[in-house]
Every structure is written in C-alpha cells, then in structure tokens.
Amino acid sequence: MSKKIASARITEKSSKLLQELNNSLPFDKILYKEDIEGSIAHAFMLSEQGIISKEDYKEINRGLNEILEEIESGEFKLNGDDEDIHMAIEGRLTEKIGDAGKRLHTARSRNDQVALDFRLYVQKNTKKIAKLLLKNIETLINLAKDNTSTLLPGMTHLQHAQPINFGYHLMAYASMFKRDYERFISSFHRNNLSPIGCAALAGTPHPINREITSSKLGFKEPTLNCLDTVSDRDFALEVLFNISTMLMHISRFSEEIILWSSSEFKFITLSDRHATGSSIMPQKKNPDIPELLRAKTGRANGNLIALLTVMKGLPLAYNKDMQEDKEGVFDSIKTALLSLEVLEEMVSQMKVNRQNMEKACMIGHLSATDLADYLVKEIGIAFRDAYHITGGVVNLAENKGLDISELSLEDLQSVDSRIGESVIELLDNRASMNARNSEGGTSSARTKEQIEKMSLWIELQKEEI
C-alpha cells in the first residue's frame, strides 16, 4: 500500500522495521474470503438502511467479487506492504471502483471487522473438524464391529489386567472422539453470534441494523455488548483447547498403535503407505506417522498457552496485542484437520493380527479375578481370603510355566480343595471377557450394544451438521 488509507494522522511512511513487526498481511491473508464475505454483508446492510445508495452497494458487491477472483487466480497477490488483509482489500476496491469503495468502511472499524473475519474462519473450520471427527468415529465403529470377539489383554499400568475384546478397546477411543465432537459443536453454538456493527468499541451513530448482517452471514444473532465483542477472543481459545484435547486423545491412540506395531506386540501391521524405512537399517519399518500424530499435541498446547498468555491482563477493549491471536489458531486448525485425515486413513488400512492379540491373552493370568469372584460367589469365601487363595494359584501356575487358564482341576484343588469343577470354564479368557456383561462392560454383547448406541448417535449428528 503506497498511500496510507487508514492514517489521517500519520504523515510519514512507516519504517521498514515497524512494518515488519506491525503488518499482519503475511499471515492474515488467509482470511481473504471471510473478509470479502463480511464486507459484502456489511455493504448490503448499509444500503438496506439507506446509509449508502443501492448503486454503491452494487458497485461494492461487484468489485469485491472481482477481487475474490483476482486473489484466487493469483492476479492480485497479497504480498504488498499493506498493513493487513482488511486494508489490502479495501485499498484494492477503491482502486477499482473509486468513491463507492471509500464508503464501505462507514459504521465499521477494523476492530469489529477482524473480530468478524476471524470468528467466521474459526466457525467454518470448527464444522470441518467436527465432520472429520464423525468420519473417524465411523471408521472405529466399523473396525469394532468386526472385532467384538477378538480377545485382547486389557491393561492397567501397561500390565496385563483382564481379557477384553479389541472392539471394546476401539469403542473407548470412539467415546473420546464423541466428547471431542460435542465440545466443538457446543463452542460453535455458543459463539455463533455476529460481531459486525460493533465498530471501534462503542457502537455507531449510524442507523445500522445488525440483525441483517447477522442473518446474512449465518449467525444466530448479533452479540450483546460491543465493548466485549471487539476484545473477545474466547471463541479462538475454545477452538484451541478443543483441538489440544482432541490431539491429546489422538496421541494416546497413536502411542498404542506404535506399541502394537512393535515386534514385542505385533497386534497390528501398519500399511506400507503409513510406515517409513530407515536410511541405514534395511529391515526396518518405522511407525513415523503415528509418532508424528503423537507429537502434534505439543504445538497445539503451545498455541493454546500462547493465546491465553496474550489475553491475560489486557484492558478493554481492542489492543494490538490481539493481532497475535491468529498464527497459533491457523496452525492448530491446520494441524487438527491433517491429523484427523491421516488418522482415519491409517486406522482404516491397518491390519489387525487377531491371533497375536489372542495369544498375548495367555500371558499374565488374565482370568485370575474370575477365580477370586468364583470363590466369593460360589463357595462363599470372603473376598480378601479369595484374593489370597487366587494368589496361591497364580504362584503355582508361574512355577509350572503355565497360564492360570491352563491349570487342571487337580492343580487348582492342590491350593484349595474347595475349588470345584465348574471353575475350569470360567477361567477361559473368552468366558472371562464375556462374563463382564454389566452395562458399559467388555462382553461381546455389551460391546455390540455400545456400537449400536454410537451408530444411532452418529446418524443423528449427520442430520444436524
């Protein structure tokens, strides 16, 4: 921008260094669509209210649509020395259509303009992320459906604990992603309010109608208080927090995928499309993709803390500090979208090695709790005593190099003669898994119930989003 369109007071050209610190165009140019969309809605409202003429609106609308095409075709490059995207587009508009362009900024300030553009951007991307979350949940559900009786060692402290099924394990992640989805949708609705028309901080003496811009832009209604609106970045903080939490979930899943693909587990095999080789060790197949997904949480958390820190202690209303709100949000959104797409592709194409999962269930005496429960339920032994008897059985199995489910009735009775024959089938891992048939439990039947409930929920969301 050669002429300063927003500086009646400043006569000298800014120093190069000031521009470098001050200009946001290098990163806020990403908001060009939202800026144009917002300006068209604002100009429409101005003309409806008789604040500018219908002819001016037509010119502005035509000019802005042309600028959109110029930007998308690369004819208008957003790399000049304009301070920000708002000045760049307004400057270009005036260059193209003259006086009508100069009327666009009536009853508006960059403070409500940037609040609008940024909010539109966050809202649009919130929906994109939510849709991708649904897709990931569907993929998990499909894989879970095929594995409701695939045995897997359920762990606590990363130690074998009780037998579960693989579908049940996947449904735990589907449940996390469901909560993530709900968080995105809830902040979408809470923030679906239009900031435009707040002007610099106090509203405007022009007879504007904020309902018109609000409904034209797809918001529920205008925000309540202009002073708050121009300095509110909660909507951005919410999306950052939602992304951080979601990526934390993805990092946990990724960690398990990394473990499962190792030689020690071999529970899954990643598709060659999602693994990489080593430059020196020809035999290696590395899980770089889940490792990167696991690591992405770091930058997202950084972006969240950065904006929380920028906003802390800021007096009302707009302060230039708030220009620092954007890069982290753009980065977190980009990271979230890519991570979700990659995760979905990787999970839908990985191979599940059922036999290895089931084999691993023979390590760690997974059905020991079933023996203790049997002693309590069938023989009437107090739980703490049953716990110690079971400990004795586990020791015997260890000494014999067997799993508890492989012991004979004689072996079991050598520890406690009260143990009866019916216990044998209870100690089988699949029976043990299916015995956990309480609501939300791991039995195949309960897992199928969870899959069904989640599938119904997905269908409802698809109608809404």
Is residue 223 a contact point for ligand ARG (CB under 6 A)? Answer: no
Task: Confirm or reject binding of residue 105 to ligand ARG (CB under 6 A).
Answer: no
Nearest residue to 147 via CA among 440, 341, 364, 357: 357
Minimum Å gap between C-beta 313 and ligand ARG is 17
- Report the nearest approach of ligand ARG to the CB of residue 141 (Å): 41
Select which of 157, 263, 417, 438 is catalytic: 157
Nearer to ligand ARG, 211 or 321 (CB): 321
Token readout for 221 is 């209604």
Q: Is the dihedral of CA 423, 429, 433, 434 positive or negative?
A: negative
Q: Which of 7, 271, 278, 408 is flagged as catalytic?
A: 278
82 binds ligand ARG (CB under 6 A): no
- What's the DSSP call for residue 148? T
Taking CB under 6 A as the binding criterion, the range among 69-77, 181-189, 218-226, 316-324 that sits at the site for ligand ARG is 316-324
How many whole angstroms separate alpha carbon 176 and alpha carbon 170? 10
Q: Name the residue type at position 431.
A: A
Helix segments in 221-319, DSSP class H: 226-229, 234-260, 288-311
In angstroms, give the least distance from the CB of 351 to ligand ARG: 48
By CB under 6 A, name the one of 42, 92, 110, 119 that touches ligand ARG: 110
Q: Does 88 bind ligand ARG (CB under 6 A)?
A: no
C-alpha span between 302 and 262 (Å, rounded): 30
Amino acid at 255: E
Considering only 34, 84, 331, 370, the residue that binds ligand ARG (CB under 6 A) is: 84
Query: What is the pairing mode between strands 221-222 and 193-194?
Result: parallel
Consecutive H or E run containing 35? helix 32-48
Site for ligand ARG contains 194 (CB under 6 A): no
What residues from 319 to 338 belong to the interface with ligand ARG (CB under 6 A)?
Answer: 320, 322-323
Nearest approach, Cβ of residue 110 and ligand ARG (Å): 4
Q: Indicate which single residue of 64, 114, 386, 423 sits in contact with ligand ARG (rule: CB under 6 A).
A: 114
- End-to-end Cα separation, the chain, in angstroms: 41
Binding to ligand ARG by residue 311, rule CB under 6 A? Answer: no
CA atoms of 121 and 195, how far apart (whole Å): 13
Written as six digits, the tokens of 311 are 């906003």
Report the distance separating Cα 365 and Cα 220, nearest Å.
Answer: 57
If phi over 0 gives left and psi between -120 and 50 gives alpha, with beta otherwise, what is residue 203?
A: left
Q: What angle do CA 450, 291, 132 make, to 5 degrees?
A: 45
Minimum CB separation of residue 200 from ligand ARG in Å reads: 7
What is the smallest separation between the CB atom of 216 and ligand ARG, expressed in angstroms? Answer: 22
> Going residue by residue from 261 to 300, which x/- string records binding to ligand ARG, judged by CB under 6 A?
----------------------------------------
Nearer of residues 114 and 120 to ligand ARG, judged by Cβ: 114
Minimum CB distance to ligand ARG smaller for 233 or for 294: 233
Interacting span for ligand ARG (CB under 6 A) from 236-244, 315-323, 384-392, 418-426: 315-323
Alpha helices in 50-160 (DSSP H): 54-73, 85-97, 99-103, 110-145
**Which CB sits closer to ligand ARG, 138 or 321?**
321
| Pairing of the two strands 159-165 and 351-352 | unpaired
Kindly determine how many residues on this chain lie close enough to bind ligand ARG according to the rule CB under 6 A. 10
Nearer to ligand ARG, 114 or 171 (CB): 114
- The two structure tokens encoding residue 86: 């708002």
Nearest distance, CB of residue 325 and ligand ARG, angstroms: 7
Residue 109 CB, shortest distance to ligand ARG, in Å, is 7
Cβ atoms 198, 191 nearer than 8 A:
no
**What is the rounded distance in angstroms from the CA atom of residue 50 to the CA atom of residue 5?**
25
Taking 3-state DSSP, the helix, strand and coil percentages for the chain, each rounded to the nearest 5, stand at: 65, 5, 30
Examine the residue annotation and report whether 278 is marked as an active-site residue of this protein: yes
Query: x/- string (CB under 6 A) for ligand ARG, residues 17-36?
Result: -------x---x--------
Segment lying near ligand ARG (by CB under 6 A), choices 124-132, 317-325, 328-336, 407-415: 317-325
Active site residues: 157, 278
| Interacting residues toward ligand ARG by CB under 6 A | 24, 28, 84, 110-111, 114, 318, 320, 322-323
